[in-house]
Amino acid sequence: MNITEDFFNLVIDFGDDWRIINVETDHQKLQVYLDIEYIGKEYKDPDTLEIVKLYDHSEIRIWRHLDILQYQSYVRCRIPRVLCKNGKVKQIAMSWAGKYDRHTYRFENRVIDLLKATKNQTKTAEFINCSFRLVNKIIHRSTKRGMERRNLSDLSFKHLSIDEKSFKKGHKYVSVLSHPRSGCIIDIEEGRTKESVKMLIDKTLTIEQQSGVTTISMDMWQAYLSVAKEKLPNADIVHDRFHLVQYLNKAIDSVRRREVKSNHELKNSRYALLKNQINLTEKQRIKFEAIAKANYEVSKAWEVKENFKDMFNQETEKVNGFELFYKWVSNSINKKIKEVNKVVTMFENHLSGVINALITNFNNSMAERLNGKIQEVKLVGRGYRTFKKFRSAILFFHGGLDLYPLNW
C-alpha cells in the first residue's frame, strides 16, 4: 500500500473490517474511485449473525459516496458471499451501505442534511450532484425508517389537533393529526371523510390512548366532529380561534364585495379591513380610517370581529363564558348584517366548541403554524402528484422523526 491509500484510509473510515486498497482518479470527469475489500477475520450470516464459511465474492459493484474536494466519489467492491447453514448463499452485511443500495450511509446522511437545510429536493440534487429520483427515494426510506422507530408511548395524548390541508386542485384534501405540545405532526391521511379520519386515528392511537384524549382542537367540519365524538369519547371539542376568526373575516369580505358595487371608496380595501391593525401599511391605515368614519356595513362587520377577538383576552369561566358569548351574539345580530348573522348562527349551532375556545388556553395555533409549514413544503415542491409523496415530505420535515441510518 502506498501513501495515497494510507491517507484515504486515515480520513475515510469504512470500519475495522474494511480497507481501501486502491484509489483511481479520472481528472476529465472529475471522479475518484475507492476500491475497498473486506479484511475481517470472520464471516457471518447477515440474518442470524452465526459464523459461517466464505463461499465467493460478488461481481464488482459501485456505490456513490461523499464528494472529495470537487471530485465525485465512488466506492468499488466485490462483496463476500457466505454459505449459510440452511444451504443458502447470501451476501454479508456491510457496515457502510444497505444491502440493496447504490450509495453509502454517509452519502445518505449528507442528502438528509441538505434536505433539512434547503427544504427543496431539486436544489438538494443539484448541490450534491445526483438525480432527483435518488433524493426522492431517500426521503421515502428515511421517513419510513423514522416512523418505524418512533415510540408514541413516550408522548402524552391528552391534547391533540386535527386540521385539513389542500393537496391538489379539485378539492383534494388531507387530514393532519398533530401534537401541539411537541409541535410535531403525528400522521396524515388522504381525504377528510369520516372513513379517512377514523383510519387516521385508529392507525395512530391505541384504544387506551383514544380514551385518554381530553381535548381535541379542530374546525367545524362535520366529519371531524362525528369521528371525535365516536373515537375520542372523553375529549372536549375546541373550535380553534384561527378558524373562528377566519369565518368572520370571510363575512367581512362578503359585505365588502356587496357594498363596493355602490361605494367606490371601498375599492382596493380588502387588506386594509382584513389585516391586523399593527401590520397595516400607512396607505392601508389611511384607507381603513376613511372607511371606519363612513359607517359602512363593512366597518360594522369589522367591529363584530374585533369584539369577538376581545373575548379571548378576558379571564373567563364556564358560566360567564356563556354570558360573554351571548352578549356578543345580541350585539352582532342587532347590526342586522346578513353575512354576519349567518356566521353568528353557525357559532350558536356549535356552541360547546366555541365556548371551549373562549374558556381554555388550548387552541390550534401550533396546528396552524404546522399548516403554514406544510404549505411551504407544498410550494417549494411545486405540488405533489401522489398522496404518498406528499405524506413522506410532510413527515420528513415536520414529523419530529429520527431519519438517519443507525450505522453511521
pLDDT in tens, 254-298: 999 998 888 888 888 888 888 887 877 888 888 888 888 878 899
Q: Which of 312, 240, 245 is nearest to 275 (CA)?
A: 245
Instruction: List Cα–Cα distances, 109 to 60, 137, 253, 398, in angstroms.
Output: 24, 13, 48, 18
CB atoms within 10 A of CB 404: 15
Tally the residues of the chain.
408
> Is 12 in contact with 27 (CB distance < 8 Å)?
no
Phi then psi dihedrals of residue 97, to 5 deg: -160, 155
How many structural domains are present in the chain?
A: 3
Whether residue 132 lies inside any domain: the answer is no
Strand bridging mode 215-218 / 80-83? unpaired
- Of 68, 87, 102, the one marking the end of a domain is 102
pLDDT of 43 reads 95
The 3-state DSSP class for residue 45 equals coil
Q: How far apart are CA 320 and CA 194, in angstroms?
A: 34
pLDDT of 172 reads 84
* DSSP-derived secondary structure for 270-292: HHHHHS-GGG--HHHHHHHHHHH
pLDDT of 233 reads 93
Average pLDDT over residues 191-197: 94
3-state secondary structure 216-264: EEECCCHHHHHHHHHHCCCCEEEECHHHHHHHHHHHHHHHHHHHCCCCH
> Is 243 in contact with 219 (CB distance < 8 Å)?
yes
Tell me, yes or no, whether 252 and 335 share the same domain: yes
Q: What is the pLDDT of residues 122-177, one digit of tens each?
A: 999 999 999 999 999 999 999 999 999 988 876 778 889 998 888 877 668 899 99
- Of 86, 102, 118, the one marking the end of a domain is 102
Confidence band for 335, pLDDT divided at 50, 70 and 90: very high
> Is 80 in contact with 91 (CB distance < 8 Å)?
yes
pLDDT of 76 reads 96
Q: How far apart are CA 157 and CA 306, in angstroms?
A: 33
Whether residue 272 lies inside any domain: the answer is yes
> Is 368 in contact with 164 (CB distance < 8 Å)?
no
Tell me, yes or no, whether 249 and 347 share the same domain: yes
Whether residue 125 lies inside any domain: the answer is no
Whole-structure pTM value: 0.81
The larger pLDDT score, comparing residue 38 to residue 1, is at 38
Whether residue 148 lies inside any domain: the answer is no
The 3-state DSSP class for residue 373 equals helix
Q: Which of 300, 364, 370, 310 is nearest to 337 (CA)?
A: 300
Cα dihedral sign for 56, 60, 63, 69? positive
Tell me, yes or no, whether 304 and 355 share the same domain: yes
Cell of 24: 483511481
DSSP state letter for 41? S
Whether residue 212 lies inside any domain: the answer is yes
Sequence-ordered strand ranges (E) for 85-200: 89-91, 159-168, 172-179, 184-190
Whether residue 210 lies inside any domain: the answer is yes
**86-90, 237-241, 383-387, range with greatest mean pLDDT:** 86-90
The 3-state DSSP class for residue 158 equals coil
Q: How far apart are CA 362 and CA 368, in angstroms?
A: 13
Q: Tell me the residue range of the domain where 76 lies.
A: 3-102
Tell me, yes or no, whether 79 and 32 share the same domain: yes
pLDDT of 270 reads 84
The larger pLDDT score, comparing residue 375 to residue 238, is at 238
Q: How far apart are CA 119 and CA 377, in angstroms?
A: 7
Confidence band for 251, pLDDT divided at 50, 70 and 90: very high
CB atoms within 10 A of CB 20: 20
pLDDT of 323 reads 87
> Is 217 in contact with 243 (CB distance < 8 Å)?
no
Sequence-ordered strand ranges (E) for 92-140: none
Confidence band for 360, pLDDT divided at 50, 70 and 90: confident
Tell me, yes or no, whether 234 and 272 share the same domain: no
Tell me, yes or no, whether 201 and 270 share the same domain: no
The vertex-250 CA angle with 337 and 285, nearest 5°, equals: 90
Average pLDDT over residues 372-389: 78
Confidence band for 318, pLDDT divided at 50, 70 and 90: low
For the ranges 2-16, 35-49, 189-203, 204-218, which has the lowest average pLDDT?
2-16
The 3-state DSSP class for residue 181 equals coil
Whether residue 122 lies inside any domain: the answer is no
Check whether 316 has a pLDDT greater than 60.
no
pLDDT of 408 reads 56
Tell me, yes or no, whether 249 and 185 share the same domain: no
